[in-house]
Amino acid sequence: MSSEENGRQEQRVQLDGLLTMLDEATDILAKAREFAKPAKLNRVLDTARRVLLQEGGCAAVEERAQRLEEAGVFLGSDWAMPHILVPTLTAQSLKSANSATVVIEALSELRMLAVATGKYRHPQVSAEQAHHFLTQVLAVNLPMLFTPPSEAERELQGRLAKLPRALLRHLADRVGYEHIIDKLIEEIWRMLQQRPIQVDDVKQMVTQIAICQANPEIDLAGSGQGAERLVSSLFGPTQGCREDPGLAVYRQRLDTMDRNVLQSEATGFARAMHDTGLVSPYHPVLLRHLLEQGDHLLAEALGLSSTGRDCMLCYNELVRALIQKAVYPETPQAVYGLALMLERGILYQPPVAPAMWRQIGLHLSDWSRERLELAYGSAVSPQARLLEGVLCMLGMPLGVGQGNNPTCQSARALSMWAYNDPDYLLQMVAWAARDDEIVMHFEGQSISSRESASGVATELPMDLDPVSLLVVPHLDRIYAEMGRRCISREGDPHRWVNPEFHGWWAGRGFSINVDVDTGQLIDLDDFLRHFYACYHPYYNGNQPLIHPQPAGVAVTDSAARFVGWHAITILRVALDPSGQMRVYFFNPNNDSGQDWGDGVKVSTAGNGERYGESSLPFAQFASRLYIFHYDPLEGGELAAVERDELDEVIAYIQRSWGAERLAPNGLQASSHN
């Protein structure tokens, strides 16, 4: 017997021994009374972890999935209700440093696989539902399927980092790659419709699609429709770089192209960029080459309308300086940010152009340079990286995301300033990046970010766009300090903090439907009638919203259970294409397309949304709202909303986050505020 065969034999013996231990631990768990099961669970999870790290371990656990669930391995956790599980959350669980979380997530996926293949008839999930769930899980975690653990994962998880990859390979082999690719393409387009500033994850997924297409061992079985548009947008948008020849070769080709060919290249790049929101590294090469070719081709390459062209020609020297300082193959999204900024016409606001010149020449502090290099590397200068971020934020003010951080207030403020007051945003960036300090005022008293105590975030966030990376830590501390100065006041501190923090246009009027001390619902009828009177066109004299307004929502999960309070921005209220009144709002969460349960599904496209907007029908939005601002000199009359319409909203509340928040004396309890 060869040494290789000996090794396989030893592995089989080891796996058999571990499976015997797992079966014994499962039997003990099954026989234990419910109150005693938590004490028996650790042995099952520890043994399962060791099994899953063995070759063939995933298949063996899949065979035991039903026994494990019936024994109570998921008891008392969200995993006990597979019909409400959210595929996108699996990425976080599988990357957890807690081995128990990783293992129980793996057991849940193998349970779903047993259901999908017909081995396990589950009372809550059908085979079709389980199969659909697993394709989404694979799509979300596709990078882990094709890449080894990163340094961060190895540091965080150690040998455990191998387990999710073994699991995902097993799932992919059983489910089929063709299903993954189709779901992945659908997921990419859904994300791109929101036009996020940060697209690195999306680009990685597109790269994985290209790898799958090129791998002869992966049978896509005719799947992947629409993949070509995504792959070509990054690796070959035009005839001149169709076969992805490399940047150096493309530069040489540009030197030999006549004006007609350059026109075709410019049009091709612009079409691909505006179609997807992704920018190929070849695009900056062309743009820098066209600096010597005249303004017409430059405007073509940016895909500008007459508005953008006029703005570019009016501020020609500034636009050229921005291209020279910010647009490189390593910072391709700067092209899209620049194009959209010109389309917005904000350079015509007198302070913006001088502020952009200041940004171009801004001297960054040592701390700012180190932060940018730590997050983005040193392929280009920190100044160029920050300038790319500035262009993207000004071009896509609704593409700002808070990352995996509790800093929704700061992300909302950045978005609001970029949307409504761009020169103020540029001032904030200058203070943070140059001075390592931001000073704001609260009721006439200055607050320094340098002198303030810690903010909401317990550690410095890193998974942010370049502007947020530098500015959010300062804003977070200032926002927290404003809250601390309101501790002794009765009521919710947002009443005073939001207008001071976000800007003069945030209404000084304030309405809340939750008692701060008890958490109970209060004055719900008046709250809703007031919201309709302020925001619904049928009840406010058809007055459109002039300035974006901060608001707070009670976020619920797909089972309509309360998750937490969240800061959003109300942008506008209007009829959608089908004639339904909708609230369009900005959600700083990185993915705004969320299922809040009870049929309340946040839409990001297809219902009249502009890029970056979320929307809900008016009644559904009102059912999740708990705080809003308004101008106290306007809309003082409560709207005469029909009882049926109010009852619809209240029913949504009672079936979700308000289920346990009814005041002892009913919904009409008096407010203390």
What pLDDT is stored for residue 668 in this prediction? 44
In a domain, 44, yes or no: yes
Does 405 fall in a domain?
no
**pLDDT band for position 670 (50/70/90)?**
very low
CA nearest 475: which of 427, 433, 414, 422?
414
In angstroms, rounded to a whole number, what is the distance separating the alpha carbons of residues 106 and 171? 10
275 and 127, same structural domain?
no
Interval 573-603: pLDDT, tens = 999 999 999 999 999 987 778 889 899 999 9
The alpha carbon of 460 is separated from its chain's Cα centroid by a whole number of angstroms, namely 18
Q: Could you tell me the pLDDT band of residue 635, with boundaries at 50, 70 and 90?
A: low
Candidates 102, 85, 88; CA nearest to 46 is: 102
**Size of the chain, expressed as the number of residues it contains:** 673
Lowest-confidence range among 46-50, 113-117, 381-385, 557-561? 557-561
pLDDT at 4 over 60: no
Residue 223, pLDDT score: 63
Q: How far is it, in rounded angstroms, from Cα 99 to Cα 272?
A: 43
Kindly state the tokens that stand for 40: 């028996």
- Shared domain for 642 and 548, answered yes or no, is yes
Say if residue 552 is exposed, middle or buried (CB neighbours under 10 Å; 0-12, 13-18, 19+).
buried
Residues 6+ apart with CB under 8 A from 51: 15, 18, 19, 22, 57, 60, 61
Q: With pLDDT > 70 as the criterion, what percentage of the chain qualifies?
A: 93
Model confidence at 138: pLDDT above 90: no
pLDDT at 595: 85
In the predicted structure, residue 358 carries a pLDDT above the cut 90: yes
In this prediction, residue 528 carries a pLDDT of 96
Least confident window among 29-38, 182-191, 359-368, 626-635: 182-191
In a domain, 416, yes or no: no
Range of the domain at 136: 3-175
Q: Give the tokens for residue 415.
A: 């978005």
Q: How far apart are CA 186 and CA 63, in angstroms?
A: 31
| Across 61-82, average pLDDT | 93
Q: Based on the domain organization, do 257 and 169 belong to the same domain?
A: no
What pLDDT is recorded for position 669?
38
Separation CA 183–CA 138 (nearest Å) = 9
Asked if residue 402 is part of any domain, the answer here is no
- DSSP label at residue 601: B
How many Å apart are CA 529 and CA 549, to the nearest integer? 18
- For 586, the 3-state DSSP assignment is strand
| Alpha helix ranges (H) inside 117-256 | 127-140, 142-146, 151-157, 162-175, 177-192, 200-214, 227-235, 247-256
Buried b (16+ CB within 10 A) or exposed e, 399-432: bbbbbebbbbbbbbbbbbbbbbbbbbbbbbbebb
pLDDT for 665: 43
Kindly report the three-state secondary structure assignment for every residue of 275-314.
HHCCCCCHHHHHHHHHCCCCHHHHHHHHCCCHHHHHHHHH
Among residues 115, 149, 175, the one where a domain terminates is: 175
Q: What is the pLDDT of residue 672?
A: 32
User: Model confidence over 221-260: pLDDT tens digits?
Assistant: 666 667 889 999 999 999 999 999 999 999 999 999 999 9
Q: What is the mean pLDDT of residues 525-546?
A: 94
Amino acid, res. 305 = S
The answer on 287 and 140 residing in a single domain is no
pLDDT in tens, 496-510: 999 999 999 999 999
Contacts of 173 (CB under 8 A, 6+ apart): none
| Cβ proximity of 302 and 339 under 8 Å | yes
145 and 65 belong to one structural domain: yes
CB 569 within 8 A of CB 586: yes
C-beta neighbour count of 498 within 10 angstroms: 27
How many domains does the structure of the chain reveal?
A: 3
425, 396 Cβ separation under 8 angstroms:
no
What would the pLDDT profile of 300-320 be if each residue is shown by its tens digit?
999 999 999 999 999 999 999
d(CA 376, CA 55): 37
546 within a domain of the structure (yes/no):
yes
The residue-averaged pLDDT of 498-525 equals 93
Report which secondary-structure segment, H or E, holds 454.
Answer: none
The answer on pLDDT for 656 being more than 90 is yes
In a domain? residue 411: no
CA–CA gap between residue 158 and residue 180 (Å, rounded): 27
Do residues 168 and 274 both lie within one domain?
no
User: How many percent of the chain have pLDDT more than 90?
Assistant: 68
pLDDT score, position 407: 87
Three-state secondary structure call for residue 186: helix
Average per-residue pLDDT for the chain: 90
Q: Are both 68 and 165 inside the same structural domain? A: yes
Q: Which long-range contacts (CB under 8 A, 24 or more apart) does 140-146 make?
A: 140/87, 140/88, 140/90, 140/91, 140/187, 141/90, 141/91, 141/94, 141/168, 142/180, 142/184, 142/205, 142/208, 143/201, 143/204, 143/205, 143/208, 144/94, 144/168, 145/169, 145/172, 145/208, 146/208, 146/211
410-463 tens-digit pLDDT: 999 999 999 999 999 999 999 999 999 999 999 999 999 988 777 676 677 788
pLDDT for 455 equals 67
DSSP H or E run through 334 = helix 333-344
Neighbouring CB atoms inside 10 A of 340's CB total 25
448: helix, strand or coil: strand
Q: Answer yes or no: is 11 within a domain.
A: yes
3-state helix, strand, coil in the chain (%, to 5): 55, 10, 35
Q: Which pLDDT score is estimated for 46?
A: 94
Q: Which residues pair with 32 in a beta bridge?
A: none
Of 327, 348, 369, the one marking the end of a domain is 348
Within-domain flag for 182 = no
Could you say which of 175, 208, 227 is where a domain stops? Answer: 175
Task: Please say whether the beta carbons of 272 and 315 come within 8 A.
Answer: no
Q: How far apart are CA 386 and CA 331, in angstroms?
A: 10
Integer Cα distance of 436 and 364 in angstroms: 9
Q: What is the token pair recorded at 533?
A: 């009177």
How far apart CA 412 and CA 398 sit, in angstroms, is: 9
